[in-house]
Structure 1
Amino acid sequence: MNIDICQLVDLPKINDRRGNLTFVESGRHIPFDIRRVYYLYDVPGGAERGGHAHKKLHQLIIAMSGSFDIHLDDGHSKKVVHMNRSYYGLYVCPMIWREIDNFSSGAVCMVLASDYYEEEDYYREYAEFKKDVNKEAP
Structure 2
Amino acid sequence: MADYPAPYLIQFPKLGAADIGYISVGENTKDPLPFAMQRVFWTYHTPESILRGRHAHHRTEQVLIAVAGRIIVTTEQANGDIQIFRLEDPFVGLYVPPCVWHTMQYSHTAVQLALASQPYEEADYIRDFQEFRQRWSPQN
TM-score by length of 2: 0.90
C-alpha contact 2:66 2:111 (8 A) present in aligned 1: yes
Query: What's the counterpart of residue 46 of structure 1?
Result: 49
> Where does structure 1 differ by over 6 angstroms across 4 or more consecutive aligned residues?
none
Structure-to-structure mapping, 1:59-78, within 5 angstroms: 59-75=62-78, 76-78=80-82
Give the Cα separation in 1 of the matches to 2:103 and 2:131.
Answer: 16
Paired letter, 2:96: V
Instruction: For structure 2, list consecutive stretches of 5 or more residues without a partner in the other structure.
Output: none
Structure-to-structure mapping, 1:92-107, within 5 angstroms: 92-101=96-105, 103-107=106-110
The number of residues matched between the two structures is 136
Give the Cα separation in 1 of the matches to 2:50 and 2:108.
Answer: 12
Give the Cα separation in 2 of the matches to 1:64 and 1:137.
Answer: 38
More strand by share: 2
Paired letter, 1:109: Q
Give the Cα separation in 1 of the matches to 2:108 and 2:129.
Answer: 29
Q: Give, in angstroms, the shift of residue 5 of structure 1.
A: 2.1
Instruction: For structure 1, list consecutive stretches of 5 or more residues without a partner in the other structure.
Output: none
1:80 is aligned, of 62, 77, 84, to 84
1:58 and 2:57 are equivalent in the alignment: no
Give the Cα separation in 1 of the matches to 2:6 and 2:48.
Answer: 30
C-alpha contact 1:2 1:74 (8 A) present in aligned 2: no
Give the Cα separation in 2 of the matches to 1:72 and 1:2.
Answer: 17
TM-score by length of 1: 0.91
Give the Cα separation in 2 of the matches to 1:66 and 1:125.
Answer: 29
1:49-87 Cα shifts (integer Å, max 9, x gaps): 100000100000000000010000013111100100000
